[in-house]
Amino acid sequence: MHNLEFRMGSYSFVETNKGAGAWHGLGEKVNVEGDTGINIITALEKSRANYEVSLQPVVALTPGLVEAMANDEMINAGDLLKYIINGSKATMRLDTEKTLGVVSDTYGIVQNERMFQVLGMLATGKDAKKEDLPVVETAGVLGEGSRVFVSMKFPEPIRINTKKDDIINMYLIAQNDHTGMGNFSITVSPIRPVCQNTLMLSDRMAKGRITFRHTRFVNDRIDLLNNETAEMAYRTLGLYGAYKQYFETELEKLRSIRLTEKWCEKILAEALLTEDVFDIYKKNDYSINSDDISTRSKNMLSEAMDSLENGVGQDNRELAGTGLYLINGLTTYFQNTLNWKDKEKKFLSITEGNCYNKLQKAHHLVLEAA
């Protein structure tokens, strides 16, 4: 499942004709010329993110009220007031009256329009060079409106210094969550277009992220950044520049590390297998062929190794046997080999969840092998 909202006969998703066909090309395609992206207002409207969210009371129904409702009996609405749960609110999408989450009464809503306004500053960047500015490439609504995302592509990619250029595009990925389980965040995200792999390297990735928690004063925090028109843009683009420089250096460092096939297997095993299974693998002279190791674990390591050698984007033989080749192979395994039923869970796992943590572990192990 892609988890894009489907409403009124179509998907709440918009993408430029220069996009990568995210979510299998669902949603509306907007034709743009050159390096331009989607206009912020157009992106807000065509992705159908132009709805408001409000905090509404939460009521605990008594058994008697539940029974009355089940029997289609009349209920005095005033009677519900005494059953309102103090300290809790529901986030409600007003145009559909769908409940998106249950939160505390100190929760602060960032309206989608506000999010897009912030991104509009990044797309204009007062006094910034046009060639340094990101442009909106995709925008969409997930679930029934619980999460909104926008991807903005920077014009200048990273090129790994080989005879066959391995290009990595740089994006700003913005997300706004209305469930109470997430934040409004803007993250630098490097992606290999050849296989659409997100490459999140090192815990320093946190320095390429701005996060606004949904506290009571969240909009005041955004206002402070907006006191000067371009301040938010400068801060975010500054993060991008610093991270891009770090990321380029890190890629070259990984490219210089040489690894044998067996050493690659050991690193993948330690990164992917649970601690107790890896201990068995280690005690078995670093062999996965043990009766004490499940078929599932064996298949996992086998598929990861196959992704390393034969996966999408792994045909640049100049990189074979390097730390970068291993990291690229692991991202290929996560994003092209694994069968994900839910695309939103895939995105979250790769950018900040279980897959992200495993990639960090593999990255550290490669660096230790240098």
pTM of the model: 0.75
Per-residue pLDDT tens over the stretch 255-302:
999 999 999 999 999 999 999 999 999 999 999 999 999 999 999 999
pLDDT at position 1 is: 41
Q: Please state the φ and ψ torsions of residue 328, each to the nearest 5 degrees.
A: -60, -40
Q: Take residue 10 and report the two structure tokens written for it.
A: 């179509």
Between 91 and 311, name the one with better pLDDT: 91
Is the separation of the CB atoms in 269 and 262 below 8 Å? no
By the 10 Å C-beta count (0-12 exposed, 13-18 middle, 19+ buried), 130 is classed as exposed
Whether 341 shows a pLDDT value over 50: the answer reads yes
pLDDT at 67: 92
Q: pLDDT higher for 25 or 311? A: 311
User: Which of 42-51, 121-130, 317-326 has the least mean pLDDT?
Assistant: 121-130
pLDDT of residue 14: 72
Using the Cα atoms of residue 165, residue 134, residue 357 and residue 197 in order, give the sign of their dihedral: negative
Is residue 152 helix, strand or coil?
A: strand
Mean pLDDT to the nearest integer, 154-158: 81
Q: Which pLDDT score, from 0 to 100, does residue 24 have?
A: 45
Alpha carbon distance 175, 309 (integer Å) = 34
3-class DSSP assignment, residue 323: helix
pLDDT surpasses 60 at 3: yes
Q: Are 194 and 167 in contact (CB under 8 A)?
A: yes
Mean pLDDT, the chain, integer = 83
Average of per-residue pLDDT across 214-225: 84
Strand residues in 197-249 grouped as ranges (E) = 197-198, 209-212
Q: Over the stretch 181-219, which tens digit does the pLDDT of each residue have? A: 989 988 887 876 655 566 666 544 445 678 889 999 999
Q: How far apart are CA 359 and CA 352, in angstroms?
A: 10
172-182: pLDDT as tens digits: 888 899 999 98
Q: What is the pLDDT of residue 229?
A: 45
172: left (phi over 0), alpha (psi -120 to 50) or beta: beta
d(CA 193, CA 168): 7
Element (H, E) at 46: helix 40-46
What number is the average pLDDT over the span 160-164? 67
Calpha distance 268→47 (Å, rounded) = 39
Question: Is residue 21 a contact partner of residue 4, using CB atoms and an 8 Å limit?
Answer: no
Q: What is the pLDDT of residue 234?
A: 63
pLDDT at site 138: 85
